[in-house]
A and B are shown apart, each in its own frame.
Chain A
Amino acid sequence: MLDAKIPEGPLDDKWEDYKGHVKLVNPSNKRRLEIIVIGSGLAGASAAASLGELGYKVKCFCFQDSPRRAHSIAAQGGINAAKNYQNDGDSVFRLFYDTVKGGDYRSREANVHRLAEVSAHIIDQCVAQGVPFAREYGGLLSNRSFGGTQVQRTFYAAGQTGQQLLIGAYQALERQIALGNVAMYTRHEMLELVMIDGKARGIIARNLISGELERHFGHAVLLCSGGYGNVFYLSTNAMGSNTTAIWKAHKKGAYFGNPCYTQIHPTCIPVTGEHQSKLTLMSESLRNDGRIWVPKKKGDNRKPNEIPAEERDYYLERRYPAYGNLVPRDVASRAAKERCDAGYGVGTSKQAVYLDFASAIERYGHVEASKRGLSNVDADTIITFGKEVIKEKYGNLFDMYEKITGENPYVVPMRIYPAVHYTMGGLWVDYELMTTIQGLYALGECNFSDHGANRLGASALMQGLADGYFVIPYTIGNYLANEIGTAVIPTSHPAFVDAEAAVKERLETLMNIKGNQTAESFHKRLGKIMWDKCGMARNAQGLQEAITEIQQLKKEFWSDLKISGAIKDFNPELDKAGRVADFIELGELICKDALQRAESCGGHFREESQTEEGEALRHDAEFMYVSAWEYVGDHKWELHKEELEYEVVKPTQRSYK
Chain B
Amino acid sequence: MITDLADPAIGQIQVSNWPGAFPSSGLSENSWRLFLKVYPMDRGMVNSMAMLGTYVVDSLNVFFKPRFPLQHGRTYQVELDLTNAYVKLYGKDLPDSWPAQLVKKINLPAAETITPPEVLMVYPSSDSIPANQLKFYLVFSRPMRQVDIYNHIRILDQKGKAIAAPFLELEEGLWDPSGQRLTIWFDPGRIKTGLQPNLKMGPPLTSGLQYTLVVDKDWEDMNGQPMANNFEKTWTITEADRQQPNPTDWKITPPLAASDSPLKIEFPESLDFAMLHSSLAVRRDSGPFLNGTTSFGPRECSWQFTPHENWLPGTYFLRISTDLEDLAGNNLNRLFDTNLEIQKKATLPQTFIEIPLLIK
**Bound together:** no
